[in-house]
Structure 1
Amino acid sequence: MRFIWTLIWSFLLSNMAFYVLGSMQGGKFDFTTASIFGVVFALFITVVGEMLPKEAEEH
């Protein structure tokens, strides 16, 4: 479930960032590029999250 949420949030945030930055520069919003970037960002975050050491549980 955490992978699905990571994909959803990265997709939404990357599209929002591309839209805002594009409008600030007077450019055109490209949904395809923003979506591809969102998926790549989600994969990067997932890989980095899996590589981090797991914390030991405290009892």
Structure 2
Amino acid sequence: MRYLWTIIWSFLLSFLISYVLSSMGGESLPINQVLIMTVIFAVAIFILGEGALKEETE
């Protein structure tokens, strides 16, 4: 379930960033850019959450 929510939040944040930047530039919203950023954000979160940011146990 956490993977599903990660993908949903990654999509929403990517859409927000892309919408704001394209509106500031006066261009149309590129949905392919949103999907690419979603994949990049989700993969980065999966890697950081599963490996890099784990708490060390003694």
For Structure 1 versus Structure 2, the TM-score category normalised by the shorter chain is 0.7 to 0.9
Quote the residue 1:43 is aligned against: 43
**Aligned-residue offset at 1:22:** 0.7
Q: CA RMSD in A?
A: 1.4
Give the number of the structure whose alpha-carbon radius of gyration is greater: 1
Quote the residue 2:55 is aligned against: 54
Identity %: 46
Stretches of structure 2 lacking an aligned partner (at least 5 in a row): none
Larger helix share, 1 or 2? 2
Q: Tell me the TM-score normalized by structure 2.
A: 0.82
Q: Tell me the TM-score normalized by structure 1.
A: 0.80
Stretches of structure 1 lacking an aligned partner (at least 5 in a row): none
